[in-house]
Amino acid sequence: KIKNEIVIPINHNLLAAKEMTVDEVENVYSHSQALGQCQPYLERHGITAHYTLSTAAAAKRVAETGEDAAIGTLKAAELYGLKVIDTNIQENFNNETRFVVLDNEDSPITGNDKTSISFSLFEDKPGGLYELLGLFAENDVNLTKIESRPSKEGLGHYIFFIDLEGHRLDDDIGRILKDLEDNTSFFKILGSYPVFSEDLFK
């Protein structure tokens, strides 16, 4: 089960094996997601993007060849002995990545918790998801994330992932989740855990 969540700011930096200016960089290597997040910057400077499996792989490649540049973290620059040509080159300065900590048990109730669940509908019909989400609205439970992914059962079948405020051991939340389980073909509680705060990990 999910026991904790950790949210880490993501800052992309332009790295090279030798001292150079941004205008001297012609080719850059990185993971597709990092390249996409830095695309406006790359276009402004006329830099050609090349894909790698990860930002770490890009940094390693540049360190080994001594050519071109990579997009990566300051930690990658330190690890591979690269020069930092420019910092924070991503377009969105509120870019964050969420990680979860797994354990066999939930975290205890703190009063500032979040619960993650997944479920599938009995059938794909207009208003089906709306009806289920009404359970939360009727009980003043705030949903902080709703995502869907295609299931393996065929076209039109989806698995929904929801984050909601509250702990599954709260009486009201427990009752709502039981109602949801009774009205879905698949239902799983992924975990209840404290809302992320940097103070939790100091």
Residue ending a domain, choose from 62, 97, 132: 97
Q: Into how many domains does the chain fold?
A: 2
Distance CA 7, CA 177 (A): 26
Residue tagged active-site, from 21, 65, 87, 99: 99
3 state SS of 127 = coil
Distance CA 164, CA 115 (A): 5
**11 and 88 housed in the same domain:** yes
pLDDT tens column, 84-113? 999 999 987 677 788 888 999 889 999 999
Nearest CA to 167 among 187, 140, 148, 195?
195
Structure-block tokens of residue 201: 């990990």
Q: What is the pLDDT of residue 153?
A: 76
**31 and 90 housed in the same domain:** yes
**9 and 37 housed in the same domain:** yes
**86 and 12 housed in the same domain:** yes
pLDDT tens column, 34-84? 999 999 999 999 999 999 999 999 999 999 999 999 999 999 999 999 999
Residue ending a domain, choose from 50, 71, 97: 97
Instruction: Tally Cβ neighbours within 10 Å of residue 197.
Output: 12
Q: What is the pLDDT of residue 200?
A: 56
| Residue 93 designated active-site | no
Q: What is the pLDDT of residue 199?
A: 64
Residue ending a domain, choose from 45, 67, 97: 97
| Residue 99 designated active-site | yes
Indicate whether 198 pLDDT > 70: no
Indicate whether 195 pLDDT > 80: yes
> Which CATH number fits the domain that encloses residue 58?
3.40.190.10
Q: Output the average pLDDT for the chain.
A: 91
Nearest CA to 58 among 99, 87, 27?
27
**76 and 131 housed in the same domain:** no
Task: Decide: pTM greater than 0.75.
Answer: no
| Residue range(s) defining the domain that contains residue 72 | 2-97
**68 and 111 housed in the same domain:** no
> What is the DSSP code string of 23-47?
GG--EEEE-HHHHHHTHHHHHHTTP
**8 and 84 housed in the same domain:** yes
User: Would you give the distance in Å from CA 1 to the centre of its chain?
Assistant: 17
Q: What is the pLDDT of residue 97?
A: 81
> Which CATH number fits the domain that encloses residue 166?
3.30.70.260
**127 and 185 housed in the same domain:** yes
**197 and 123 housed in the same domain:** yes
**87 and 112 housed in the same domain:** no
Nearest CA to 176 among 121, 130, 132?
132
Q: What is the pLDDT of residue 197?
A: 80
Distance CA 130, CA 147 (A): 14
**116 and 173 housed in the same domain:** yes
Q: What is the pLDDT of residue 148?
A: 93
Residue tagged active-site, from 21, 65, 87, 97: 97
